[in-house]
Amino acid sequence: STSITAVDGDRFLSSITFRNNDTGEVHTEAFEEGSFGIFVFAGTDPVVELVRPFVDLGSDGGVMTNESMETPTPGLYCVGDMRSKRLRQAITAAADGAIAGSEAYRYVTERG
């Protein structure tokens, strides 16, 4: 029952704004810049509205990535059911997450 309505930051994310879809209440949480990421649960049908302007979509509606889970947008990685792929299972999503996590760490540390 919660939606992300905004994210903010200079070079990396530093805050995220949520809306409770039941009550309409909105609140923002701030963090040290670059200390958090956003992981989107997509279910069986990829839900890509949040990233659609920044990615390419496959014929299944999922986000196209390379083997490192990178999208065409530098620093934007996509994993799990949101990704365009043949097998959608928790185990493959976990593997995607491990790959993307290590690649995102490399991206941040090499540019930091």
Compute CA 84 distance to the chain's CA centroid, rounded to the nearest angstrom: 14
Per-residue pLDDT band for 93 (boundaries 50, 70, 90) equals confident
**Topology given in CATH for the domain delimited by 39-112:** FAD/NAD(P)-binding domain (3.50.50)
**Domain ranges across the chain:** 1-38, 39-112
* 68: number of Cβ within 10 Å: 13
Cβ-contact 30, 49 below 8 angstroms: no
Any idea what DSSP says for residue 99? H
The reply to whether the predicted model has a pTM over 0.75 is: no
SS3 48: coil
pLDDT by residue (tens digit) across 11-67?
A: 888 999 999 999 999 999 999 988 888 876 645 677 888 899 999 999 989 999 999
* Residue 98 banded pLDDT, cuts 50, 70, 90: very high
pLDDT of residue 91: 83
Give pLDDT, residue 43.
Answer: 56
Backbone CA torsion sign across 73, 78, 82, 84: positive
3-state helix, strand, coil in the chain (%, to 5): 25, 20, 55
Give me the phi and psi of 96, to 5 degrees please: -55, -45
**HSE of 45, CA atoms in CB hemisphere, 13 A:** 1
